[in-house]
A and B are shown apart, each in its own frame.
Chain A
Amino acid sequence: MKIFERIKNYRWFIKLSFILAVIGPGIIAANADNDAGGITTYSIAGAHFGTKMLWVLFLITFSLAVTQEMGVRIGIVTRQGLGGVIRENFGLRWTAFAMLLMLVANIGTITAEFAGVAAAFSIFGWSKYLVVPLSALAVWFILFKGSFKTTQKVFLLFSFFYIVYIINGFVIGPDFGAALKSLVTPTIEWTTPFLVTMIALIGTTITPWGQFFIQSYVVDKGLDIKHYRTERWEVFIGAFITDIVSFFIIISTAATLYKHGIRISDAKDAAIALQPLAGHLAQLLFAFGLFVASMLGAFILPAATAYAICEAFGWENGFDTTWKNGKIFYGIILACIAVPALIVLLPRISLIKIMILSQDVNGILLPFILLFVMKIINDKRIMGEYTNKLLGNVIAWLTIVGILTATACLIVASFMGLN
């Protein structure tokens, strides 16, 4: 005890505790990006197109870092969630618009999470009609009876499982030289599948909900402007780590599936990528990872959605409100669990397709949310001296324009039937 007390007063300990106090938002938000939609999208990007999409990943790493950093900054300065800031500065109509976009994107993502659960268990031949309702109930139960914080930590810990992809990558020993070259060599195929996957890749890495999530995380933690410098680095590191994992998922699938021309039509196929490391345990490992990542998203997102909407519209929120006062809050959570679960339960629906398309929805809606963020972050009345610098603005605008262009190309391509 005494020793600990003394340690507490050392300079390095103070520094370390300062860093530990800040750690969380950036790395957690970034890590939660590797959810069911994420792993599926990266796997498909690698399996169907090899390393051709790595350059997109390289570019959006910067986009992710910049957009998340902006969320942190808005959170620190305004001490308010994104929903609240939009409401107070853009009025009710724009708020309703932004909230609708977020709701659609989030329901899409939650659907992907439940599809992920179903896909994970389909590896063992378990029926989705059993596992999806069960996991929906589990999410509901954890949210209402359990501790949100503890559960979140447990799942986050599990989700570090994706590090196995990095090890796996080294076990395969793919052509790193070629991979690095693809990182900086833009290649594009003017076909619908390529564009669909590309937009999904962007939409799963930078997400509307991630923007809301990191900001409210910063607000809840009560971070001050003095934490900003440390926090910014944490965000950058978080973005880098996420995309390192994504990079290895892509090169793993590229070196295994793409090489042998195997297309991913269900989770079993995607699991093959882990065979070099895990051998016949690959399926088990993949199923486990997919399951925990899906559950993490499935239970963060409904609550996060309800918090954001209630904040914007001024409805009572939080799990300590009574059912009577918090009707809307609980209603949104319930809907965010039930609707996605029901979609996944539709007969003959392709789980992989759900996971990819939901990320497309996210990618297509993302620019609109980013436009709000850009308007806020460049407003001196809101941000004071903490408005964006030129470089941040350039990267953010390029991201917005890039996604909009890709979406436009996708629409044109699908009309022209370029498959």
Chain B
Amino acid sequence: MLYLSQTLNSRVEDNANARIGRLKDILVEIKPGAYSPLAFLLVRNKKGDDLFIPFDYCENLSPHLVSLKASFEKITLATPSNNCIYLNRDVLDQQIVDVDGARVVRVNDISLGIFENKMCVLGVDVSFKGILRRLGFEWVDVFGWAKVHLIDWRKTQSVKGVLKLDTISKDLTKLHPADLANIVEDLNFHYGTKLVNTLGSKEAAKVLEEINPHLQKILIKHLGPEKATRIIEKMSVDEIADLMQLFSQREAQKYLSLLQEAKSKKVEKLIRYEDDSAGGLMNSDFITAKPEWTAVEAIEEIRLHSPNMRSIMFIYVTDETGKLLGPISLRNLLLAKDDQKLSTLYKSADKLAVLKPHYSLEKIVNIMTKYDLFSAAVINGGGRIVGIVTIDDVMRCLAPKA
């Protein structure tokens, strides 16, 4: 197995064994989901000039010696395209995302090998063994305890150098937002920001919601008002409210003024509640319906609002003043006859557990556990529904580090 570290600083000779210089770097073109074939050798000659030699000229790449197929005069030097990354500069010793493991690792070495008749990057070594190899201390490991741990190149995402949509691994964007958030937290801030920047606003919003508040604040400030607003707009109202509370009033006002008016109104309403109370935890992603509607009409209403909501478990029946009559679960709605009136379907709110905005976290947990609720409605003094608290909001408060 050949490692990048073994080839760096090797002598580079042409086919007449004339010395050209030393190998300083190897360039590859990044294609997501593929082993990248080597594209150029970066060779530094005696005068200190950097030459980019296309890898097609390479006869043999081995530790200590790189030999070329042609004589140096016949080689056409080239300028690499912008899509190239430098293995030594951008990958070796840098942080890289292990997409399968959904974590950030540091590259101790890079393994090279033949794949489909081409010399390619096969994997990155993140093991202790890799460290020992590069320090020349492999002999220390007499019992062979240290194992090489290679991560498949196709399952990695480099973050230094080019990072454009077409070089982002598809598997990375498929990761759960919470995993992506952990990755952003672990990356150097510059690359974390870069990664968030390459995501679409909607994706970025989901990721941002999962990031720890301290970093959230720094990220938002760093992204600049324009990009930040586009992302904030896609976040759910309760998350925006939490986020705004991290900022001074003046700054929060600035961001809120950039949002659509309806949304910023809702956020402002939420901000007035204490963080760890039902009012602070709740979001306004809920659907209300009138008692005289039929089941079909209610389902149509859900279809209409669904794209803007994170999750829907209940539909809330209210009277004409907005007072909560009771919830209907999606299940009951599906089981109901098409023309069945909602008034016959809902469970009366009087008999059910509902929350008040001032309820403490402990009280919410007790109620939700006791009645086995995935989400619970929050009503104000007049009995109007003002929001819902879902189980994931509660869990986040209970296990803030996850």
Contact = CB atoms under 8 A, between A and B. Distances in A.
Interface in B208-222: 214-215, 217-218, 221-222
Most buried by B among A8, A91, A93: A91
A17 B190 contact: no
Contacts of A8: 248-250
Given A92-B93, A314-B108, A222 B215 contact: yes
Contact of B105 (A93, A314, A320): A314
B93 A87 contact: yes
A393 to B, nearest CB: 24
Nearest to A328: B128
A92 B108 contact: yes
A12 to B, nearest CB: 13
B50 to A, nearest CB: 14
Contacts of B135: 92-93, 96
Interface residues of B, number: 26
B325 interface: no
A313 B93 contact: no
A87 B106 CA distance: 10
Contact of A313 (B106, B190, B221, B250): B106
Contacts of A84: 188
A9 interface: yes
A315 to B, nearest CB: 8
A219 B189 contact: yes
B90 to A, nearest CB: 10
A222 B212 CA distance: 13
Nearest to A85: B188
Interface string A27-58: 00000000000000000000000000000000
Interface string A96-113: 100000000000000000
Contacts of B134: 91-93
Interface string A199-228: 000000000000000000001001010000
B249 A5 contact: yes
B401 interface: yes
Contact of A14 (B103, B188, B250): B250
A93 B136 CA distance: 9
A91 B93 contact: yes
Nearest to A92: B134
Interface in A376-401: none
A152 to B, nearest CB: 16
A232 interface: no
A222 B218 contact: yes
Contacts of B250: 8-9, 14
Interface string A54-98: 000000000000000000000000111000100110011101100
A195 B103 CA distance: 49
Given A84-B188, A88-B93, A96-B135, A17 B218 contact: no
Given A314-B108, A314-B126, A88 B94 contact: yes
B73 to A, nearest CB: 32
B399 to A, nearest CB: 11
Contacts of A92: 93, 108, 131, 134-135
Given A92-B93, A314-B95, A222 B106 contact: no
A95 B135 CA distance: 10
B384 to A, nearest CB: 25
Most buried by B among A92, A93, A219, A313: A92
Interface of A: 5, 8-9, 14, 17, 78-80, 84, 87-88, 91-93, 95-96, 219, 222, 224, 313-314, 316, 320
Interface of B: 92-95, 103, 105-108, 126, 131, 134-135, 188-190, 214-215, 217-218, 221-222, 248-250, 401
